[in-house]
């Protein structure tokens, strides 16, 4: 049965954001909601099985070995955080689960510093349990590794660097483990790390990540849409002082982001992450932005992470080569390429409660309109407020 075995089986940026939230917004609260983008039909009894898996997460604890590894790997995080994490326990009461026919409802509510860790492992459990209950046969363990090596042989020829970003929509823990084993054994320097801290520790590679959309969504709830990117990045740099320097650019569209990404921040951050919209257009806008600030784009990096496969990566490399730095985060194309239909699900923050304020709807304005999340009326308000053209 689908079950997590380590509290570190989560994306690195969840922990880095948690540390920042503990420092800056310890009284803030948040609400999250499951979104079934792929319209998957959940089998009868799914909610009960999922509830059991979520309840089991209350038993996860940071081990002494995990604490030592994590603190040594991240010297820029205060020791007090690792003491906090050692005492942290998931509270299943923060997660409300219901099923109506084949539709699944998952809602989370609680202090932001606590609830921030739920999203990724819940999505991983939903995927694993879904495949488990469908009882559809995946390719063999040997074939999983063969597929990874075939892909890596092609990526090697592009002379690029790649990280695994596939925790949230992986087929299963077992497949993820096989993928990391194959990546680590592959005889090249192409693979540089994983977003999953547990697997980074297990395979002695680098945990990779910085922050996610919810960081800026909360800042919009607290400070308003026009200040969300600027203050989000200012607060991030105040906490990390130059470490973890890749800025996420598309919470309120790239156009809006670059208006707020001033010269100081453009110089301070090592680069930006692309997560929606056309990657070539994004690269062009990014290079133009840096050049307008008198910054050589070759001294900066774009991390591409939006639904990547080999063809998309090759196209990006052919455009960006000798123009700007680049690296790639590959998700489900590594961890859910097992001969079955991949799941398309997300779990997003929907409301935030800053200290001494009130519950405020939060939204994400992706560079792809069909990836917008949040209340439709609030999306229109944000677009008007940010002067976003109607088709954006």
The owner of tokens 């084993």 is 181
CA–CA dist 24, 27 (Å, integer):
9
Which of 182, 210, 167, 201 shows the shortest CA–CA distance to 331?
A: 167
CA–CA dist 270, 242 (Å, integer):
8
Q: Are 12-136+342-385 and 141-335 the same fold in CATH?
A: yes
Structure tokens given for 249: 């650019």
CA–CA dist 329, 164 (Å, integer):
6
The pLDDT score that the predictor gives to residue 390 is 59
CA–CA dist 25, 218 (Å, integer):
10
DSSP string, 187-256: SSS-EEEESBHHHHHHTT-EE-----HHHHHHHHHHH-HHHHHHHHHHHHHHHHTTSS-EEE--TB-HHH
- Quick one: angle between helices 376-385 and 225-240, nearest 10? 90
CATH topology classification for 141-335: nicotinate phosphoribosyltransferase (3.20.140)
Considering the domain 12-136+342-385 in this protein, what is its CATH number? 3.20.140.10
Residue 351: φ, ψ to 5°: -145, 150
Task: Note the Cα 392 to chain centre separation in Å.
Answer: 23
The owner of tokens 């489900």 is 332
Helix (H) or strand (E) holding 108: strand 103-111
pLDDT tens series, the chain, 392 aa: 788 999 999 999 999 999 999 999 999 999 999 999 999 999 999 999 999 999 999 999 999 999 999 999 999 999 999 999 999 999 999 999 999 999 999 999 999 999 999 999 999 999 999 999 998 899 999 999 999 999 999 999 999 999 999 999 999 999 999 999 999 999 999 999 999 999 999 999 999 999 999 999 999 999 999 999 999 999 999 999 999 999 999 999 999 999 999 999 999 999 999 999 999 999 999 999 999 999 999 999 999 999 999 999 999 999 999 999 999 999 999 999 999 999 999 999 999 999 989 999 999 998 887 778 888 899 999 999 999 865 44
Overall pTM > 0.75: yes
CA–CA dist 212, 111 (Å, integer):
17
Helix (H) or strand (E) holding 109: strand 103-111
Structure tokens given for 128: 């694993």
Helix (H) or strand (E) holding 97: strand 95-100
Ranges of each domain in the chain: 12-136+342-385, 141-335
Listed in sequence order, the residues at least 6 apart from 90 whose beta carbon sits closer than 8 Å to its beta carbon are 7, 54, 57, 58, 60, 117, 118
CA–CA dist 326, 109 (Å, integer):
37
CA–CA dist 331, 306 (Å, integer):
8
DSSP string, 316-356: HHHHHTTTSEEEEEE-HHHHT-SSSPPP--EEEEEEEE-TT
């Amino acid at each position: 049965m689908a079950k997590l075995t380590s509290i570190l089986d989560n994306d690195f940026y969840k922990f880095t954001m948690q540390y920042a939230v503990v420092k800056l917004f310890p009284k803030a609260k948040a609400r999250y909601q499951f979104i079934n983008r792929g319209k998957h039909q959940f089998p009868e009894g799914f909610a009960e099985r999922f509830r059991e898996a979520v309840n089991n997460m209350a038993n996860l604890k940071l081990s002494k070995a995990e604490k030592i590894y994590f603190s040594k790997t991240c010297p820029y995080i205060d020791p007090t955080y690792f003491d906090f994490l050692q005492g942290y326990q998931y509270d299943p009461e923060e997660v409300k689960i219901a099923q109506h026919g084949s539709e699944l409802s998952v809602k989370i509510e609680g202090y932001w510093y606590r609830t921030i860790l739920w999203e990724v492992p819940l999505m991983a459990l939903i995927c694993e349990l879904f495949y488990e209950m469908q009882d559809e046969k995946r390719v063999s363990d040997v074939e999983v590794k063969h597929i990874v090596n075939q892909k890596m042989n092609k990526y090697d020829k592009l002379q690029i660097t790649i990280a695994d970003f596939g925790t949230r929509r992986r087929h299963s823990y077992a497949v993820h483990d096989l993928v990391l084993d194959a990546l680590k054994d592959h005889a090249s320097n192409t693979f540089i790390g994983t977003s999953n801290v547990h697997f980074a520790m297990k395979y002695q590679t680098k945990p990779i990540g910085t922050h996610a959309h919810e960081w800026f969504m909360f800042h919009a709830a607290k400070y308003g849409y026009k200040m969300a990117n600027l203050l989000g990045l200012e607060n991030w740099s105040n906490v990390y002082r130059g470490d973890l320097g890749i800025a996420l650019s598309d919470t309120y569209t790239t156009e809006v982001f670059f208006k707020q990404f001033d010269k100081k921040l453009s110089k301070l951050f090592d680069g930006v992450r692309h997560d929606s919209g056309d990657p070539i257009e994004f690269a062009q806008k990014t290079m133009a932005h840096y050049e307008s600030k008198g910054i050589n784009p070759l001294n900066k990096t774009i991390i591409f992470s939006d639904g990547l496969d080999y063809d998309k990566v090759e196209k990006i490399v052919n455009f960006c080569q000798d123009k700007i730095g680049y690296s790639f985060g590959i998700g489900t194309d590594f961890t859910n390429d097992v001969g079955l239909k991949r799941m398309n699900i997300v779990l997003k923050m929907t409301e935030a409660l800053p200290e001494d304020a009130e519950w405020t709807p939060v939204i994400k304005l992706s560079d792809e309109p069909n990836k917008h999340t949040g209340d439709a009326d609030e999306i229109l308000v944000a677009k008007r407020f940010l002067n976003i053209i109607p088709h954006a």
